[in-house]
Amino acid sequence: MSKQFLFDGRPVRFEEGQTILQAARAAGHYIPHLCWHPDFPPHGSCKLCIVKVAGRHVSSCALPAKEGMEVESNTPEINGERRALVQMLFVEGNHFCPSCEKSGNCELQALAYDLEMMGERFAHFFPDRPVDASHPEMLLDFNRCIFCELCVRASREVDGKSVFALTGRGIHKHLVVNAESGRLGDTDFSADDMAANICPVGVIVRKRVGFATPIGARKYDDKPIHLVDMEDGK
Amino acid sequence: MKSHEVPPTPVGRIVDRHGRHANRLLQVLIEVQDDSGWLSPAVITEIARELSIPRSRVEGVAGFYQFLHTRPVGRYHLLFADNITERMQGSAELMAALCSKLWVEPGKVSEDGLVSIDTTSCIGMGDQGPALLVNGRPLTRLSHQRVNQIAELVRRETPIEQWPAEFFRVDDNIHRRDALLGLDMAPGAALRAAIGAGRAAWMTQLEASNLRGRGGAGFTTAVKWMACRDAAGADKVVVCNADEGEPGTFKDRVLLNSMADAVFEGMTLAAWAVGASEGYLYLRGEYRYLLPALQDTLALRRAQNLLGRGILGEAGFDFDIDIHLGAGAYVCGEETALLESLEGKRGTPRIRPPFPVTHGYLGRPTVVNNVETLAKTCLIALHGGEAFAATGTAQSTGTKLLSISGDCAHPGIYEYPFGVAVERVLEDCGASDIQAVQVGGAAGVTLAGYEFHRRIAFEDVPTAGAFMVFDSSRDLFDVARNFVDFFAHESCGFCTPCRIGTALLKKAMTKLAEGHGAKMDLADIEWINRLLRNASHCGLGAAAANPVVDTLLKFRPTYEQRLKSLDFEPAFDLDAALAAARRASGRDDAAAHLADRAPGS
Ligand SMILES: Cc1cc2nc3c(=O)[nH]c(=O)nc-3n(C[C@H](O)[C@H](O)[C@H](O)COP(=O)(O)O)c2cc1C
Ligand code: SF4
Ligand code: SF4
Ligand code: FES
């Protein structure tokens, strides 16, 4: 016996234990997300998936759906807050999209377009985050990290390597790799790892394949993320 | 094989002492650092190897806690408490004086490695500040004379054990006693009463008392305990939250110092009610100086059969308590972050639901209660729930301990029945010419003069205990700015709105303080506050906006007088700025421009 809730006024069926985001997706409704991934339990850190339930903001990727809930998602108010969260992520790191290998395939950039981000609004932090080019196949450009921990989770839970971890706290939080030298080249990281292929932005990138797909023909180039993401079936 | 093994290193011995359990990682790191001064990359590698966990995990945890050092610190490491009340007593000047006497810059280590000096969040000594921590030990009542003496002791490299004992004196400063502070209980008396009544009757008494949590949120204790009792799983846990990190709060310090038996007895009463066999007291690193006495109390209680197997002869009632240390992280007072920390991880708040009562420490049903809440359960066991509910208000029964500091003649601890008016408290502590009171700490509420008739109670002005007083000579902008700095420093960094929002708020307040602010900045501040409140993952981020929201509302002129001009021309056009990107990517289609793209359309 499946139950239902209202998503932006439309009824959505769900199974016990499904989160709001899972049930909405199954019914064809997109909710923006960055740290959520279908292969992992919810993380709840990016807050792009916020929705309003009974006047309160909740993380739709983490909150189990309940019978009769009234969920507001695609509203000017919530999208405005999501846009501001994306703006915050842009000023926190150093994102020079034009020179980034991930441009066009980047979820952060695609969300910025989709949420009509017209400018960064907030003051830039310009953090000093040196790149790590010590690995033969992969490059780490920490400037673009949004701390979704997908690489951390994939490496720990799927690859069984724990190549990545976060250290520091607050605005000084940063990614480290599993080596005393601090260099990726000294870990057992491999380009076949799930962690090597999961970064939603342009931190973990392959060497020497730069711009193999021309800009203009990339994932989010002709269609916005709210369509592409639903076609992916993820 | 064994005989060929090399003798264990200091790290190996510490890891052995903790049973080689990975969930003891934080305790191991603290003890290794005691031994080695700081946690070098090589030491981190060794700890990971000894505990058989990935090195990255150890580095992740070591970098989270302020009192763990992944870079060298001085042999004398001094941390000045930086709460607003200490600043009002001149802590910044005292720190500058000490730095110049010892030729060291704040936050750096002197060239000879002798000394480093920095600031830290409130250390719970607001009633006897300014205060600092020297190699983890609180040193109170700082003055210029004392700073001179400290400089001399450091220069001569006098071991801290030989510094004048008077420096380390910590007084209780109890000025008003009521039911709890007036209690003179023989250890075990409350427990005997509850066991005598039987499990079910004891829970009924607790329910009748309508006791609500004293740690801030005010959740009904009986409801929490029943949920844990009824949760699936036999290996239940009781945790006492002694993290007391809220700036201006120091009542748990006094309870742990002078009524430790009542606190441990409360934990045991909880264990009896829910059927728990394991207890943990999570003691903030700042209160480590209390650890030896607390351990002695535990040992005495074991000897009296108030802990251990078959407590007070009750077959099957087995319960013991272990003390875990924190290491400088306010967020670890949040109960799920505390549980992560107890498990030896970074103190990141969990996703809720599920709640600790069903999935707590190591996934087991867990009760987490504040020190004061637990101590108060003794009163209920001794005198009954109804007697407890007879004081206070209908929704806030019993008494509340307030930690009073700031501009008043008699800072210290005051116990009042709930419902006491703010003005009454101000009168009792000898405060006059008062402009504002910050109730509930940095996360609490700023009350202006016209609100002093309001009452301390969950239904009016709730508080975990902090009560900071500001007279008319103070600038409330400085107060709010100090709290903003606090939240930025203490944000765990897990979620976007708080990690970035608190840092942006700090920048905005600095800009205003430096006289570069424009009206647009106030609009930005309000927008950041909205995101913090609405989108944060835990109470830290949600409350981080409070001081600014309250002072903007009630003391707006102090902001406006800092504005350079009331208007601001945003000088940035992203679409124009993207022209270079369009050229580089050879695009000029509609999607490469920022106009008219509708999300979800
Ligand atoms: C950021 C933050 C810090 C907290 N710090 C403390 C603390 O230091 N001590 C405490 O007892 N509760 C603290 N709490 C509240 C706890 O999460 C929890 O509600 C409390 O320990 C429950 O105990 P009680 O019901 O007895 O109050 C904090 C909450 C948040 C969000
Ligand atoms: S490197 Fe990429 S996947 Fe890993 S935390 Fe940063 S943004 Fe997420
Ligand atoms: S609100 Fe702040 S402290 Fe709480 S989880 Fe988010 S970043 Fe961490
Ligand atoms: S997708 Fe829900 S918080 Fe990131």
pLDDT tens readout for residues B176-198: 999 999 999 999 999 999 999 99
- Asked if B566 contacts B519 with a C-beta cutoff of 8 angstroms, the reply is yes
CB contact under 8 A, A47 and B496: yes
**The residue to which tokens 């377009």 are assigned:** A113
Handedness of CA A220, A223, A225, A231 (dihedral sign): negative
pLDDT band at B572 (very low <50, low <70, confident <90, very high): very low
C-beta atoms surrounding A129 within 10 Å: 17
Q: Which residues pair with B446 in a beta bridge?
A: B438
Per-residue tokens: A210: 């730069």
Whole-number Å distance between alpha carbons of B175 and B429: 8
| Contacts for B405 with CB less than 8 Å, ≥ 6 apart | B85, B126, B127, B129, B248, B250, B411, B466, B467, B468, B469
CB contact under 8 A, A92 and B499: yes
Specify the residue for token string 């003055």.
Answer: B143
Alpha-carbon span B2 to B15, nearest angstrom: 18
* CA B541 to centroid of ligand 3, rounded, Å: 5
pLDDT band at B593 (very low <50, low <70, confident <90, very high): low
How far apart are the CA of A119 and the nearest CA of chain B, in angstroms?
5
- Which residues are CB-contacts of B20 (< 8 A; sequence separation ≥ 6)? B50, B51, B52
pLDDT at B576: 61
Token pair in block for residue B408? 């008043």
3-state SS, residue B241: strand
Query: Which ligand minimizes its atom distance to the CA of B348?
Result: 3
Q: Give the residue from chain A lying closest to B508, CA to CA.
A: A123
Q: Is B494 on the interface with A (CB under 8 A)?
A: yes
B599/A contact by beta carbon, under 8 A: yes
Q: Do A85 and B329 touch (CB under 8 A)?
A: no
**Which of B171, B188, B216 is the last residue before a domain boundary?**
B171
The CA–CA distances, whole Å, from A234 to A26, A115, B529 equal: 10, 21, 34
Q: What is the CA(B334)–ligand 2 centre distance, in A?
A: 26
A233 touches chain B (CB under 8 A): no
Taking the CA of residue A150 as reference, the ligand 2 atom at the shortest distance is: 3
Which residues make Cβ contacts (< 8 Å) with residue A124, sequence separation at least 6?
A: A91
Judgement on whether residues B196 and B328 belong to the same structural domain of the protein: yes
Task: Among B348, B502, B537, B546, name the best residue to mutate to test ligand 3's pocket (greatest count of ligand atoms within 8 A of Cβ).
Answer: B537
Query: Is residue B482 within 8 Å of residue B406, measured between CB atoms?
Result: no
Residue numbers in A near B598 (CB within 8 A): 116
Q: Closest Cα of chain A to B364: distance in Å?
A: 19
Cα separation, B71 vs B379, whole angstroms: 47
- Asked if pLDDT for residue B571 goes beyond 90, the answer is no
Which residues make Cβ contacts (< 8 Å) with residue A118, sequence separation at least 6?
Answer: B574, B575, B594
Angstrom CA distances, A129 to A145, B309, B371, stand at 10, 54, 42
Instruction: Please identify among residues 529-558 of chain B the ones whose CB lies closer than 8 Å to any CB of chain A.
Output: 530-531, 534-537
Strands A174-177, A164-167: pairing kind: antiparallel
B23-53 tens-digit pLDDT:
999 999 999 999 999 999 999 999 999 999 9
What is the rounded CA–CA span in Å between residue B268 and residue B291? 19
pLDDT for residue A68: 96
Output Rg (C-alpha) for chain B, integer angstroms.
26
Q: Is residue B70 part of a domain?
A: no
Q: What is the pLDDT of residue A98?
A: 85
DSSP-assigned letter for residue A158: I
pLDDT band for B588, please (50, 70, 90 cuts): confident
- Min Cα distance B586 → chain A (Å) is 8
Identify all chain B residues contacting A121, using CB atoms and an 8 Å cutoff: 524
State the residue for tokens 């700090």.
B506
Per-residue pLDDT tens digits for B125-167: 999 999 999 999 999 999 999 999 999 999 999 999 999 999 9
Contact criterion met (CB below 8 Å) for B418 and B179 = no
- Do residues B144 and B219 share a domain? no
Residues B342 and B361 in one domain: yes
Mean pLDDT of B414-432: 98
Nearest by CB to B63, which of A84, A167, A224? A167
Do B142 and B213 fall within a single domain? no
- The verdict on B490 touching A (C-beta cutoff 8 Å) is yes
Instruction: Assess whether B381 and B510 both reside in one domain.
Output: no
Query: In order along chain A (234 residues), what is the average pLDDT of each group of 10 residues?
Result: 91 96 97 98 98 97 97 98 97 91 93 92 92 96 97 98 98 98 98 98 90 83 91 63
Query: pLDDT tens, B327-353?
Result: 999 999 999 999 999 999 999 999 999
Please tell me the number of Cα atoms within 13 Å of B450 on its side-chain side.
2
Q: B353 — contact with chain A (CB < 8 Å)?
A: yes
Cα-based distances in Å from B361 to B23, B54, B279, B343, B366? 10, 22, 10, 7, 6
Is the sign of the CA dihedral B116, B70, B132, A171 positive or negative?
A: positive
Chain B CB within 8 Å of residue A231 CB: no
Rounded Cα gap, residues B540 and B538, in angstroms: 6
Are A216 and B488 inside 8 Å of each other by CB?
Answer: no
Report residue A155 as tokens.
Answer: 């490496």
Both B267 and B334 in a single domain? yes
Residue among B25, B492, B585, B597 with most chain A CBs within 10 A, to mutate: B585
- What is the extent of the structural domain holding B503? 477-596
Point out the ligand 3 atom lying closest to the alpha carbon of residue B532: 1
Residue that is written with structure tokens 């000047």 in the block: B93
Does B81 share its domain with B49? no
Residue closest to B348 by CA, chosen among B444, B489, B491: B491
Residues B517 and B562 sit within 8 Å (Cβ to Cβ): yes
| Same domain, residue pair B564 and B445 | no
| Amino acid B140: pLDDT | 98
Contact B73, B37 (CB under 8 A): yes
Cα–Cα distances in angstroms (integers) from residue B132 to residues B49, B119, B536, in the given order: 35, 8, 31
| Of B508, B588, B482, the residue nearest B88 (C-alpha) | B482
| Sequence letter at residue B317 | F
Band (pLDDT 50/70/90 cuts) for residue B599 is: very low
Count Cβ–Cβ pairs < 8 Å, chain A vs chain B.
175
Pocket of ligand 3 (CB under 6 A): B 331, 349, 491-495, 498-499, 536-538, 540-541
Give the pLDDT of residue B3. Answer: 46
* B450 interfacial to chain A (CB closer than 8 Å): no
Cα–Cα distance for residue pair B365/A198, rounded to 1 Å: 34
- Residue B584, pLDDT above cutoff 70: no
End-to-end CA distance of chain A: 25
Q: What pLDDT shows up at residue B575?
A: 62
- ipTM field: 0.97
- Are residues B359 and B217 part of one domain? yes
Angle at B485 between CA B480 and CA B489, to 5 degrees: 150
Does residue B91 sit within a domain?
Answer: yes
Least confident range from A198-202, B215-219, B519-523, B549-553: namely: B519-523
pLDDT band at B8 (very low <50, low <70, confident <90, very high): confident
Q: Assess if residue B368 is contained within a domain.
A: yes
Give yes or no for residue B392 CB within 6 A of ligand 1. no
Q: Residue B246: CB partners within 8 Å, gap ≥ 6?
A: B122, B216, B330, B333, B440, B441, B442, B443, B444, B464, B465, B466
Query: Do B468 and B506 sit in the same domain of this protein?
Result: no
Mean pLDDT of B408-424: 98
Tell the burial category of B96 from Cβ atoms under 10 Å away from its Cβ (0-12, 13-18, 19+).
middle
The answer to whether residue B145 sits within a structural domain is yes
- Boundary residue ending a domain (B431, B446, B474): B474
Q: Is the dihedral of CA B133, B139, B141, B143 positive or negative?
A: negative
How many Å apart are CA B294 and CA B4, to the nearest integer? 40
Minimal-distance CA residue to ligand 3 atom 8: B492
Domain count, chain B: 5
CA distance A201 to A145: 7
Closest approach of chain B CAs to the CA of A52, in angstroms? 10
Q: DSSP string covering A25-91, please?
A: HHTT-----SS--TTS-----S-TTEEEETTEEEETTTSBP-TT-EEE-SSHHHHHHHHHHHHHHHH
Q: Cα-flanking dihedrals φ and ψ of residue B197, to 5°?
A: -70, -25
DSSP for residue B401: E
What is the residue with the minimal CA distance to atom 3 of ligand 2? A199
E strands present in B122-235: 132-134, 137-139, 174-176
Residue B394 lies in a domain: no
Interface check for A31 against chain B (CB to CB < 8 A): the answer is no
B439 shares its domain with B582: no
Asked, for residue B2, whether it belongs to a domain, the answer is: no
Determine the Cα–Cα distance for residues B577 and B212; give it in Å rounded to an integer: 56
Distance B526 CA to ligand 4 centre (A): 23
| pLDDT recorded at residue B473 | 97
* B441 Cβ closer than 6 Å to some ligand 1 atom: no
Note the pLDDT tens digit of each residue in B269-295.
Answer: 999 999 999 999 999 999 999 999 999
C-alpha to C-alpha distances, A147 to A35, B128, B275, B319, nearest whole angstrom: 8, 41, 40, 41
* Torsion angle, alpha carbons of B442, B445, B446, B449, to 10: -150
Model confidence at B600: pLDDT above 80:
no
Residues with CB under 6 A from ligand 2: A 145-151, 175, 198-199, 201, 203-204
The reply to whether B586 touches chain A by the CB within 8 Å rule is yes
Q: What is the CATH number of the domain that holds B586?
A: 1.20.1440.230
Give the CATH number of the domain where residue B317 resides: 3.40.50.11540
Assigned token pair, A91? 């000023």
Burial class (CB in 10 A: 0-12, 13-18, 19+), B288: buried
Tell how strand A50-53 and strand B76-81 pair up.
Answer: unpaired
For B70-101, how does the pLDDT look when each residue is reduced to its tens digit (9 = 90+)?
999 999 999 999 999 999 999 999 999 999 99
Q: What b-and-e string marks burial along A100-124, b requiring 16 or more CB atoms within 10 Å of the CB?
A: bbbbbbbbbbbbbbbbebeebbbee
Strands (DSSP E) along B397-473, which ranges? 399-406, 412-417, 434-439, 445-448, 466-471
Q: What is the CATH number of domain A3-74?
A: 3.10.20.740
Nearest to B56 among A122, A176, A215 (CB): A176
Domain with residue B161: its CATH number is: 3.40.30.10
Q: Are residues B505 and B587 in the same domain?
A: yes
Alpha-carbon span B445 to B479, nearest angstrom:
12
| A173–B594 CB contact, under 8 Å | no
Cis peptide before A224 (omega within 30 of 0): no
The tokens describing B37, both together, are 């001064």
Distance B75 CA to ligand 1 centre (A): 34
Does domain A96-229 correspond to CATH entry 3.30.70.20? yes
With contact defined as beta carbons under 8 Å apart, do A47 and A85 qualify? yes
Domain positions in chain A: 3-74, 96-229
Domain boundary among B152, B171, B190: B171
For the ranges B253-262, B380-389, B543-552, B558-567, the lowest mean pLDDT is seen at B558-567
Whether residue B216 contacts residue B335, with contact meaning beta carbons closer than 8 Å, is answered with no
> What is the predicted pLDDT for the residue at B601?
32
Query: Which of B155, B170, B19, B166 is closest to B75 using CA atoms?
Result: B155
